[in-house]
Structure 1
Amino acid sequence: MNTMPDDRPPPSQAMRVGAAILGNALEFYDFTVYAAFAVWLAKAFFPAENPSTSLLLSVATFGVGFVARPLGGILIGAYADRFGRRPAMTLTIWMMALGSGMIGLLPTYQQIGVLAPILLVFARLLQGFSAGGEMGPATTYLLESAPAHRKGFFGSWQLASQNLGGVISGLVGLALALMITPGATDSWGWRVPFLLGILIAPVGYYIRRNLDETMDAEEAHGSMGQVLSDLVANHWQKILLCILLISGGTISQYFFLYTATYAISTLHYSQGWSMAASLATAVSGAIFSLVGGALADKYGVKSIAIIPRLIVTLLFYPALHLVISSGSPLVFVIVAASLMTLHAMASGAGIVLIPIIFPSAVRTAGLSIAYALGVTIFGGTAQIVFTWIISATGDKLSWVWYVIIMSVISVIGTLAIKVPETLKGKPQDSKPTAALAGASN
């Protein structure tokens, strides 16, 4: 097993968790901020006579960030399985901050013309590459650092940290709505959240570089090429099933991320209410992701990945119908946060299910590639599909059926996954609890 080359005391469990989730929080902060400020980015970079066209171009650029995620997942995932989880995590945190800073500093379309949206696309590609590479090493590190009886809870911090990024995004958006005028937001206020994303990188790098390593050097392949060859030859079926698992979860996640844009552009609520909805769902998601992980340790990871997903799927349409019929922004906020509780529990368990089915030598690459492909194909196109469906049908509820259908497909994929009886390559006790392994088959 790899160890630190000096005599520093090993980091505490709290430090391991904190270091792993920091990058995830930054990653999702960047992505959530873009989704929340899509309306303002549309005005700055994609001015058009038709506001719907302008918004569609803006959310399409949001989707562009997902194009580079599979490449980041493949290269950085294989790097983490060959050279270690820690160096992979220190690399991605700098790239994420660079992409966020670029968006905050870019001149607008009015200032430099068509070059502005081109540079915005480049920044989104950089964010996407780093995000694709961040998730796998961080989640693997969490699981491999966890006690045997708490792997579900530790792993669920991955989803919780994503929602923590959403909490920070929501607080920043709400503060801007309260502190500056809509005109100031249009002019310069939209830059502030992206510039704030730079600040966490030096702190995150310092913390991560002082971690110990959880990769088992004796089980590691000799090259990144061998990691990928093993994965493709022996584990491609698992990757396909994991993509199906991810499909419904990621579309549901972007259903919640879309709430700010939906509240402003479709329901015509104020900026303050739209940011309140984003904040409420993020807080709910952060808390109940951890609840899902804790329940997975007790009742089985597959059970918790499936049952809350089925319940929230049944509730999506009637809940949104209530929002539309009430016309109340407060009802909208309460409904969104309530639906998130179930989605977060299922996702908190689901994200743990993926890496535990891969052996240590390809665990990070398997998780990274499955997650990046699933999120790119389904999450990256979600806001475009949502916007297009509403625009094409004129029905404020039509887009919800897409979320429902993909959630059902996700449940089918989850049911087909088999959890191994033992987890290999853990630095501590490698035998999972009965609930995490045997009871969840």
Structure 2
Amino acid sequence: MAETRAETIKTVLRVTSGNFLEMFDFFLFGIYASHIAATFFPNDNPFVSLMVTFLSFAAGFVMRPIGALTLGPYIDRIGRRKGLIVTLLIMAMGTVLIAFVPSYATIGIAAPILVLIGRLLQGFSAGVELGGVSVYLSEMATPGRKGFYVSWQSASQQVAIVVAALLGFLLNKILMPQQISDWGWRIPFFVGCMIIPFIFIIRRSLQETKEFAARKHQPDTREIFRTLFTNWPVVLGGVGMVMMTTVSFYLITVYTPSFGKTVLHLTESQALLVTMAVGVSNFIWLPIAGAVSDIIGRKAILIAFTVLAVLTAYPALSWLVSDITFGHMLIVELWLSFIYAWYNGAMVVALTEVVPVTVRTAGFSLAYSLATTLGGSSLAISTFAIEATGDKAAPGYWMSFAAVCGLVATLFLYRRKSTPAAEGKTAAPHA
């Protein structure tokens, strides 16, 4: 039993390693947004420079649905293991490109174009990376523990957040601000490049899931697209569910360093400490939420925490901006982390259950990618909303809207009672 448990842990680590790299690189872009703006997108107006940087960040999310439609059917046809290796290679190309592109002052307009290409490659890969990982974990899970297993997909992202924030915090202690702005911000990106070979080696040792290997019929691409089209209401409902996850996640993690520094005028070190605390909080709550959803079902948790987000997101941020302190920011961010982690711990596994099995990777990835196109734009949307309204708590409205989307989608997908799924007391939604 101990040997089996050890092998299971190793498999989970191999599967989620690429997820770690994806979020590590994405999060670095948020931490160093102001430095990236000055390096690649210089402008006399700091707001314009930052907005263009956030729009280039968002461009990667526009590529996600394309990646989902291209790579999703490919993975559903050839297998989970081979697909996860392909996504890692594409993601690595984008990471290396961003890390080594010279500045605008050195090569002119080619600099922002190359950075944009790097973001597009990362987005194309990420369009199916998360779906591939979630499906792999759901198919390897032991009976009654699918929620717990799948939750480690999101938990691996939190480790990346903590590591990235810790690196940023240490750089702020070691280097002078001008050194960080000139070249120091690239160091964490170089670290990401050095991680790539290690992750590639451990992913190559993955075995195909038994569930996929046992199938007697593997659908071709045309059949996969036909099934996706037939089940478009399920995909659309999945988009609504994921909206709550992506918006809240990017607000409390990737946006936090910029929000704390440029909006609340706290120090960069303070904002990074809050971000590290959020990552730790998410890491703790996610597996707990996934395990609880195996016991009481997904629906109750999804409804409870979307309602909680609608009622408290804007009031919490309003309280913060009315009296800005490090302690208040920490309290508010940890509260929003609690809401996000519990919702997401039940949502991701629920999405793997509602999508038809023959298009599980493609359907999951498409729904997730379409939602992330908007959720990943939260940095630009929040920055614009604050500038347009003059209300520093305006991102709370955006999170509340996303929570309403999640609530409506949950009620739609679970609108009829059906036979409980194999996962303990979990009721499978009507699809």
CA distance in 1, matches of 2:66, 2:262: 33
CA contact (8 A) 2:286 2:342 kept: yes
Measured after TM superposition, the shift of residue 296 of structure 1 is 0.4
Matched with 2:172 is 177
Distance 2:240 2:278 in 1: 24
Match of 2:139 in 1: 144
For the residues of structure 1 that align with 2:129 and 2:46, how far apart are their CA atoms? Answer: 34
- Distance 1:164-1:311 versus aligned 2 partners, 3 A rule: same
- Structure 2 partner of 1:18: 13
Alignment of 1:8-47 (within 5 A): 12-47=7-42
- Taking the aligned partners of 2:217 and 2:31, their CA distance within structure 1 comes to 41
Give 1:151's aligned amino acid: K
Matches within 5 A, 1:19-98: 19-98=14-93
Q: Tell me which of 359, 375, 380 is aligned to 1:362.
A: 359
Partners of 2:220 and 2:429 in 1: how far apart? 36
1:116 is the counterpart of 2:101: no
Of 398, 402, 405, the residue aligned with 1:402 is: 398
User: 1:338 deviation in Å?
Assistant: 2.6
For residue 164 of structure 1, report the CA deviation from its aligned partner: 1.7
1:345 equivalent to 2:342? Answer: yes
- CA distance in 2 between counterparts of 1:166 and 1:355 reads 24
- Pick from 407, 412, 421: which aligns with 1:411? 407
Give per-residue Cα distances to partners, 1:106-156, cap 9 Å, x unaligned. Answer: 101111111110111000000001111211111100000001111000011
Q: Does 1:374 align with 2:363?
A: no
Equivalent runs, 1:192-211 vs 2, <5 Å: 192-211=187-206
TM-score by length of 2: 0.94
Contact kept, 8 Å, 1:24 with 1:162, in 2: the verdict is: yes
Structure 1 pair 44/300, CA: closer, same or farther in 2 (3 Å)? same
The C-alpha deviation readout for 1:277-304, integer Å capped at 9, x for no partner, is 2211111112111111011011111212
Matches within 5 A, 1:229-268: 229-233=226-230, 235-256=231-252, 257-268=254-265
Alignment equivalent of 1:287, drawn from 278, 284, 288: 284
Give yes or no for contact 1:140–1:364 (8 Å, CA) kept in 2.
yes
In the alignment, which residue of structure 2 is the partner of 1:388?
384
Q: Which amino acid aligns with 1:305?
A: L
Name whichever of 410-419 and 134-143 sits farther off: 410-419
- Change beyond 3 A, Cα 1:116–1:437: same
1:143-200, CA deviations, whole angstroms, 9 ceiling, x for partnerless residues? 0000111100001111111222211111111111111111111011111111111222
What's the offset of the Cα at 1:52?
0.7
* Cα offsets for 1:372-394 (capped at 9, x unmatched): 11111x11322111111111122
CA contact (8 A) 2:418 2:430 kept: no
Q: TM-score, normalised by structure 1?
A: 0.92
Residue ranges of structure 2 left out of the alignment (5+ in a row): none
Q: Which moved more, 1:26-35 or 1:116-125?
A: 26-35
- Contact kept? 2:354, 2:428, Cα under 8 Å: no
Which residue, 297, 303, 326 being the options, matches 1:300?
Answer: 297
Q: Which residue of 2 aligns with 1:4?
A: none
**1:403-423: per-residue Cα shift (whole Å, max 9, x none)?**
212211211111211386476
Shift of 1:248: 2.1
Counterpart of 2:139, as a letter, is E
Aligned residues: 423
Q: Distance in 2 between matches of 1:387 and 1:394?
A: 10
For residue 219 of structure 1, report the CA deviation from its aligned partner.
4.7
Secondary structure of 1:199's aligned partner: helix
Contact 2:238-2:367 at 8 Å conserved across structures? yes
- Shift of the 196–295 alpha-carbon distance from structure 1 to 2, 3 Å rule, reads same
Structure 1 vs Structure 2: percent identity of aligned residues? Answer: 35
Shift in Å at residue 30 of structure 1?
1.1
Q: Structure 1: which amino acid aligns with 2:426?
A: L
SS of structure 2 residue aligned to 1:124: helix
RMSD of aligned residue pairs (Cα, Å): 2.0
8 Å CA contact 2:128, 2:365 repeated in 1:
yes
1:395 is paired with a residue whose SS is coil
**What amino acid maps onto 2:423 in structure 1?**
P
CA-to-aligned-CA distance 1:303-332 (integer Å, 9 cap, x gap): 122212322332212221221122212321
Cα distance per residue 1:193-241 (max 9 Å; x no partner): 11111222222222222222111453543422322222212x1110000
SS state of the match for residue 191, structure 1?
A: helix
- Secondary structure, counterpart of 1:12 in structure 2: helix
CA distance in 2, matches of 1:422, 1:213: 27
- The aligned counterpart of 1:436 is 426
Q: For 2:321 and 2:126, how far apart are their aligned partners in 1?
A: 34
Residue 358 of structure 1 deviates from its aligned partner by 2.2
In structure 1, the gaps of 5 or more residues are 1-8, 424-430
State the alpha-carbon separation in 2 of the partners of residues 344 and 219 from structure 1.
37
Between the aligned partners of 1:168 and 1:156, the Cα distance in structure 2 is 19
- 8 Å CA contact retained: 1:70, 1:373: yes
